Chain A
Amino acid sequence: MAVLRPFDKLPELNSATILLVGAEGGPQQQLAEAMLREKKDFNINIHLASSLPLPSERDHLRPRIDLIAFVIDIKSKYSLKNVQASLAYVDVRFFLGKVCFLVTGVGRANNCSVEMNAIWKLGEDYCSPVIFCELELEGIRVATAQRLLRMLQICAGRVPGVSALYFSLLMRNSAGD
C-alpha cells in the first residue's frame, strides 16, 4: 500500500522503528549514527527515506513504524516542498503523536530560505511538534538524537503510563501559546 498506516503490522519484540524522511545525505546519516550510539534497553531500527511513498518492493520486509520524523532543511525550499508532498502518504492516525517535524540548519540564519511562518503553520495543521536543531554541530546532534530516542520510546509504547498522544499534547502546549 502506498499510504503508511500505523497499526497495519504487528510490533516486534523489544524493538522500535523510526523513519526519517527528507534531507538527503550526510545529516540524516549522521543523526542515525548518533541515535545508535546512545544507550538504550531495546533494539532500534532506523529507516532513511528521501520522500514518501516508500518503494513498495520492500514492503514485506519493513517493520512497523513507530515514529516518523520529517526533516526540513531551512536552507532549501525544496526540502519543505518535499515534506509537504510526502505528508499526503501518511495515514491520519499517525498524526496522533507519532509524527514530528525536525527543522535543521537553524544555526545559519543568513542562509534561510524557508519562512518560519510556513513551518509553524505546518506544525499546527498537522498537530505535531516541531523540533529545531542544527545537525551539523556535534553537540546539538547528540542532543537531538537523545530527544528523538525518548520520543521513540514513548511512541513504541515502552514507557508505561505515557502514550504518544499524551506526549504530543504536552509538547505542543508547552511550546508557548
Chain B
Amino acid sequence: MDEVIVEYIRRTVLKIPRDEIMAVLQKWGFLSEAQLQTINFRQTKEGISHSVAQLCEESSADLKQAALLDIIYNHIYPNKRVWSVYHMNKTGEETDFFDFRDFKKKFRRQIQSALINVTINFREYEDNAIWIRIAWGTPYTKPNQYKTSYVVYHSQTPYVFISASVLRSNLPLLCQAMVVASNYHDIHEMELRSHCLNSLKDIVFKRYSQNFQTNYPLQERNVLTENVDLRINDENRSEKERIYRLNQESFGNGPQPKLDFAQYKLETMFKSDPKWDVLEKKEPFRCLVKFSSPHLLESLKSLAPAGLADAPLSPLLTCIPQKARNYFKIREKKSLHPGSFMQITFKDHCRV
C-alpha cells in the first residue's frame, strides 16, 4: 500500500510545472520547511519527483495526504479537466444552516451504502467552495486513485460542478449523494460544459459583465474616433461605429467567460427549391454544428469587427452566457409561415 501511495504522490508532483512545485508543496504542508529545503530544485522534474517521493516515504505519508495533494493540484490547475454544471432543486422553504460535518457524513454514507470501495476526501476553501475528491473502485477491487471524479459545490448556491472523467457509470450515484447530503430534492444536468471552471462559475453566478439594452446611448468616448491622422480617411467609419455599437449591445463591455465550444443539433427540415425535390421523404435533416475555439465568446465578439460576419450576430450565438448553455437543439419553428427559421450568415468558411 505504501509504495502505491508514494508512487501516486510522485506522479502528481510530476504533473506540476517545475517552477511551481515548491509553492504547491508548501501549500500542501505535509513536508516540513526543513525537508523542503533539502530538495534540489535545479535537477530535472524526474529527479525532483523522486526526492519528494523519498521524503514522503520517510515521513510515512498516508492516503489522506496523497488525496489532499491531488485536491490542491486540481484546485490550482482546474482547467485540465472538463467540468459540467448541475442544478439542484428544492421545493419550498429557505435553506437551513449549512453544516459541513453533517454534509460530509451524509455524502460519505450515501456513496458507501452502494459502493464500499471508494476514497472520499473533502476540502473547504475560503470562497465557500467545497471540493470533493472521489476515487472509484468496483465491488471487487480497491479504489483506483488514478480514476477520480471531482465535485465543486458552493454551499449557498444550488449549483454543482462535476468533473466526472472516465467513469460515467458512477455519475447517478454521485448525483444522488449530492442531493441527499445537501438537502435538496433533485438534480439535473445543465447543458453547459467547459474546461475553464472559473468561467462556468462566472456564467451561472452571473458574474460577467452583461449587456443592458438602454434607450440612451452611452456617453463614453467613441473608441474609433481616437484615430490619429486626418490624412487617413476611413470611408466606412459610420458603418464600423454601427458594428461596434451593436457588438457592445450583444456582448457587453467586459471580458467574456471562457468557453471551448458551442454545439447546435439541428433537427430542421431541409429547405431547397421546391421543383428540385431533393429529399423524397419529408424528414428533418439531422445535422450537428460545432464551433470550437480556445476562447469561443471572444472570437464570436470579434467576428463582426473583423468583417467575417454580419452584425448583429444571430441570437443563437449571443445568448450563450445568458441562457447558460452551450448545447442547443434547434427544432422546426411551429409558425404560420413555413419558411421561417433562424439563419446564420457567414461570409467565409473559417474556424472561429
- Interface of A toward B, CB cutoff 8 Å: 24-25, 29, 32-33, 36, 43-50, 54-55, 58, 62, 76-78, 81, 113
A interface secondary structure, majority? mixed
* From B229, B236, B308, B350, contact of A55 by CB (8 A): B236
Residues on A with C-beta less than 8 A from B305 are 24-25
Within 8 A of A (CB), among B322-352: 347-350
A77 touches B307 (CB 8 A): no
How many B residues face the partner with a CB closer than 8 A? 18
Tell me, yes or no, whether B127 is within 8 Å of chain A by CB: no
* From B231, B236, B348, contact of A49 by CB (8 A): B236
Within 8 A of A (CB), among B212-242: 228-229, 231-236, 238-239
B229 touches A78 (CB 8 A): no
B232 touches A76 (CB 8 A): no
A50 touches B229 (CB 8 A): no
A48 touches B349 (CB 8 A): no
Shortest CB distance B350–A (Å): 8
B308 touches A48 (CB 8 A): no
**Known A50-B307, A76-B348, A77-B349; contact A29-B232, beta-carbon cutoff 8 A:** yes
B interface secondary structure, majority? loop
**Known A24-B306, A25-B305, A25-B307; contact A46-B348, beta-carbon cutoff 8 A:** no
Residue of chain A at shortest CB distance from B243:
A24
B306 touches A78 (CB 8 A): no
Pair count A-B, CB < 8 A: 56
9 contacts between A and B (CB under 8 A): A25-B306, A25-B307, A36-B232, A44-B231, A47-B234, A49-B236, A50-B236, A76-B350, A113-B348
Shortest CB distance A160–B (Å): 25
Alpha-carbon gap, A21 to B236, bound state (A): 11
Residues on A with C-beta less than 8 A from B229 are 32-33, 36
Shortest CB distance A140–B (Å): 20
- Interface of B toward A, CB cutoff 8 Å: 228-229, 231-236, 238-239, 305-308, 347-350
Residue of chain A at shortest CB distance from B305:
A25
Alpha-carbon gap, A46 to B228, bound state (A): 13
A78 touches B232 (CB 8 A): no
B306 touches A48 (CB 8 A): no
Alpha-carbon gap, A32 to B232, bound state (A): 7
Residues on B with C-beta less than 8 A from A24 are 305-307
A78 touches B308 (CB 8 A): yes
* From A43, A44, A55, A113, contact of B238 by CB (8 A): A55
Shortest CB distance B347–A (Å): 5
Alpha-carbon gap, A32 to B231, bound state (A): 9
Alpha-carbon gap, A45 to B229, bound state (A): 10
A46 touches B235 (CB 8 A): no
Shortest CB distance A12–B (Å): 13
Residue of chain B at shortest CB distance from A63:
B233
Alpha-carbon gap, A81 to B347, bound state (A): 10
Shortest CB distance A24–B (Å): 4
A36 touches B231 (CB 8 A): yes
Residues on B with C-beta less than 8 A from A45 are 231, 233
**Known A55-B238, A76-B348, A77-B348; contact A46-B233, beta-carbon cutoff 8 A:** yes
Shortest CB distance A67–B (Å): 15
A48 touches B234 (CB 8 A): yes
Alpha-carbon gap, A77 to B308, bound state (A): 11
**Known A25-B305, A25-B307; contact A47-B235, beta-carbon cutoff 8 A:** yes
